[in-house]
Homo-oligomer: A and B are copies of this chain.
Amino acid sequence: MPKSNEIETRWWGWGDTGKTYPVEQRPTYIPFLEEKLDIKVEKVREPDPDLESVKLRKTRLKAKSLEALSKIVGEDNVSTSRKDRIYHSVGKSYRDCVKARMGEVANPTDAVVYPGSEDEVVQILKLAEAESLAVVPFCGGSSVVGGIEPLAAEGLAGAVTVDLRRMDRLLRADPESRTARFEAGIWGPELEQELAKRGLYMGHAPESFLFSGLGGWIASRGAGRQSTGYGKIEEMVESVRMVTPRGVIETRTVPAEATGPDLDRIICGSEGTLGIITEATMKVRPLPEVYDYRGLLFKEFEGGVQSVREMLQKGHVPETIRISDAEESAFAMQVRKPSSNPNKEKAIQGALGLLEKLGYSFYTGAFAVLGCEGKKVEAAGRMKRIQSICRRNGAMPLGKSTGLEWYHGRYDHPYLRDIMFGWGVMTDTLETSTTWSNIMPLYRETKKAIREALADYDSKSVVTCHLSHSYETGSSLYFIFLGKIAEGREIEQWEHLKKKAGDTILANGGTITHHHGVGYEHAPWFEQEYGPQGMELLRGIKKALDPAGIMNPGKLGL
């Protein structure tokens, strides 16, 4: 089996080039969208954009620099090929993909290097500093906030992307202490496979899991599907090594300490602006015996929100939580694949009808997925307590099959975005977090703002939200919206919406990002959140570790 990072992925959109979203198997989806957005879908599939049609400027690297890079990493591990340069310069945000489709890659990297060791990383940074080249660290390249685009930076002569995929070993497992150390270039599937061989498991599975890796997760402070139970990535980091232009920072593998400001937490979220993360020791746990995922249906979103708050505050914590509001529940219904067995489908429809009679509807209620992972008996006991909280808040359990259906389809949806673009449909996501007392007002105001922003461009809208990644003190909220593309004004339309939604989130006590990161798309709000003194602090760190300003310029507002 090929490694996940050997699978060919799209340069202009999401995921495996061999995969797509089987819209054909979802008969109600296109009619639903046509009605909701007042559009007409002409054909289901657009042809793929042509790599050759991208306007790509020549590499700015001199032959001498390329030679020097080859000397460090070996000739086979330096590339200036059209494909490599484009692939490494286009992130996965809506804006990135729209521009790439239009053949526009304004800031291409000038070369891609694949170091095989930390020592090579050190040498690359030395060379880059000496030759005034920007360095963009690259793990899976799945950033949806503009994290990997080599932005133009004053005084720099070019940009080199450092792809860490060759540095992908498990270095040490310590089952007694429940830690494992990896090189930072290891991607999700291999990380879990290496652990599984040893009976261990990390349990960080963001939507990008198949196409992203450890270094990127840490650099961007990501959260996996099971973060309610296992924590965000920064809570899993026990220690870390980062190569900066001024040398290597290494933290100690201890469970906690009082040694000044927490260096691990400064490296987490640094988004490549301070250095390149090369290794990390992570918290791990035994491989779960069961992955118990269940579907439930609440009469209303508030009941689900209330249930999650109760679970978390009572200490009955599932690994995974997802409470969809009515719009998202309806969406899930419209995008579902009917069973190929007509009798089974009839039974499902019958059950849905019965649910309706009992007052439970996917069109006015809230579909929820809860997941407990771990030892069989323990997880079952926990799931029982959790479901009983939900029932007290008016939920109807839908059983394991509904939960499993979601679990098995959990990495498929991002493909849909790129298909819908061909239909003239814009879709993107926004996420935030806030305290429980702010959740419902923030939820309502943000949905309103998104709807209005789409209306400003004469578009009807579908705006959905789910609550996930929850805490004792609050939760994340995740918004997905669909609207009609304003043709010829795609980026302007998106920026208008982003501005309105971002401002609304901040005005209502949310953060601009709970787990997507900052990159450059979130930089304006990030600077507002961090404040002028916070930005001074960050620039102080930057100046100390990267005085020449070569590390991932333009990200985090730096």
Contact = CB atoms under 8 A, between A and B. Distances in A.
A514 B263 contact: no
Contact of A252 (B260, B511, B517, B542): B511
A343 interface: no
A221 to B, nearest CB: 4
Contacts of A518: 258-260
B259 A530 contact: yes
Interface string A528-554: 011111101111111111000000000
Interface string A495-516: 0000000000000011111111
A469 B257 CA distance: 11
A530 B469 contact: no
A269 interface: yes
Interface string A421-435: 000000000001111
Contacts of A253: 435, 509
A265 interface: yes
A446 interface: no
Contacts of A543: 540, 544
Nearest to A245: B533
Contact of A536 (B251, B532, B545): B545
Contacts of A360: none
B435 A255 contact: yes
The range of chain A's interface size is 35 or more
A178 interface: yes
A531 B250 contact: yes
A531 B313 CA distance: 39
A470 B254 CA distance: 11
A179 B262 CA distance: 23
A475 interface: yes
A260 B526 contact: yes
B262 A514 contact: no
B512 A259 contact: yes
Contacts of A475: 255
Nearest to A522: B259
Contact of A473 (B234, B255, B265, B469): B255
Contacts of A152: none
A533 B509 contact: no
Contacts of A266: 261-262, 265-266, 537
Contacts of A106: none
Nearest to A512: B259
Nearest to A250: B531
A159 interface: no
A356 to B, nearest CB: 32
A398 interface: no
B473 A177 contact: yes
A238 B473 contact: yes
Contacts of A309: 176
A545 B537 contact: yes
Nearest to A516: B258
A119 interface: no
B530 A263 contact: yes
A533 to B, nearest CB: 4
A530 B260 contact: yes
Contact of A247 (B244, B530, B533): B533
Contact of A257 (B247, B258, B285, B513): B513
A249 interface: yes
A464 interface: no
Contact of A259 (B250, B258, B283, B529): B529
A48 interface: no
Contacts of A263: 530, 534, 537
B435 A471 contact: no
B513 A259 contact: yes
Contacts of A433: 254-257
Given A177-B436, A179-B435, A541-B541, A258 B533 contact: no
A228 to B, nearest CB: 11
A291 B486 CA distance: 62
Given A313-B178, A533-B246, A474 B261 contact: no
Given A533-B246, A540-B540, A544-B537, A256 B177 contact: no
Contacts of A271: 260
A199 interface: no
Given A248-B533, A517-B258, A472 B269 contact: no
A280 interface: no
A66 interface: no
A232 interface: yes
A174 interface: yes
Contacts of A537: 249, 263, 266, 541, 544-545
A378 interface: yes
Nearest to A242: B533
10 contacts: A178-B473, A248-B531, A248-B533, A252-B511, A255-B473, A257-B433, A259-B530, A285-B472, A315-B378, A540-B545
Q: Closest 6 CB pairs between A and B?
A: A540-B544, A177-B435, A255-B471, A265-B265, A255-B474, A221-B258
Given A246-B533, A259-B513, A260-B526, 8 more contacts: A177-B435, A251-B534, A254-B510, A254-B514, A255-B473, A537-B545, A539-B544, A540-B541
